[in-house]
């Protein structure tokens, strides 16, 4: 049904991004699950122990609570950060909204490079989130 179609679409997006952009080294989704909680969704990359994240916690939780894109050029400079792999050097998180503008989740990308993300990355990922909103949310 609809849920499976949505999950497959998110996974397909992960595959495309992971394949096309070499500095995307963990590419996935977190989805809002219940009250002020994120649950890991489809992803490609190393297995993460952060399957559930509270709003406000880590970069993902901060992006969810502020509803803003976070671009972290060097994760070693952050105090509120949850490490998924010691290889990760940088991270971008873009919020995903439903059609009523309510936070529904986010795209999360980790890179093994320091400072690889620019406006092109935020624009691309924000456009993808907008398409997901229009089609599924």
Return residues touching ligand SME (CB under 6 A).
Answer: 26, 48, 50, 53, 58-61, 81-82, 84, 91, 108, 110
| Closest CB 45 distance from ligand SME, rounded Å | 7
Nearer to ligand SME, 48 or 69 (CB): 48
| Closest CB 59 distance from ligand SME, rounded Å | 4
| Closest CB 61 distance from ligand SME, rounded Å | 6
40-54 in b/e form (b: 16+ CB < 10 A) is: bbbbbbeebebeebe
Instruction: Give every strand in the sheet of 52-54, ordered side by side.
Output: 52-54, 37-44, 26-32, 103-111, 90-97, 70-72
Closest CA to 107 of 23, 11, 1: 11
Nearer to ligand SME, 58 or 105 (CB): 58
Nearer to ligand SME, 57 or 134 (CB): 57
Neighbouring CB atoms inside 10 A of 82's CB total 16
């Amino acid at each position: 049904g609809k849920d499976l179609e949505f999950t497959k679409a998110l996974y397909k997006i992960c595959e495309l991004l992971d394949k096309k952009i070499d500095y995307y080294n963990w590419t996935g989704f977190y989805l809002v699950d219940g009250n002020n909680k994120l649950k890991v969704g489809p992803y490609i990359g190393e297995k993460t122990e952060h399957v559930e994240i509270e709003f406000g916690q880590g970069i993902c939780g901060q992006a969810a609570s502020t509803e803003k894109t976070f671009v972290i050029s060097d994760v070693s400079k952050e105090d509120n950060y949850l490490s998924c792999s010691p290889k990760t050097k940088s991270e971008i998180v873009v919020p995903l909204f439903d059609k009523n503008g309510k936070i529904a989740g986010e795209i999360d990308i980790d890179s093994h490079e320091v400072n690889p993300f620019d406006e092109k990355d935020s624009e691309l990922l924000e456009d993808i989130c907008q398409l997901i909103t229009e089609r599924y949310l």
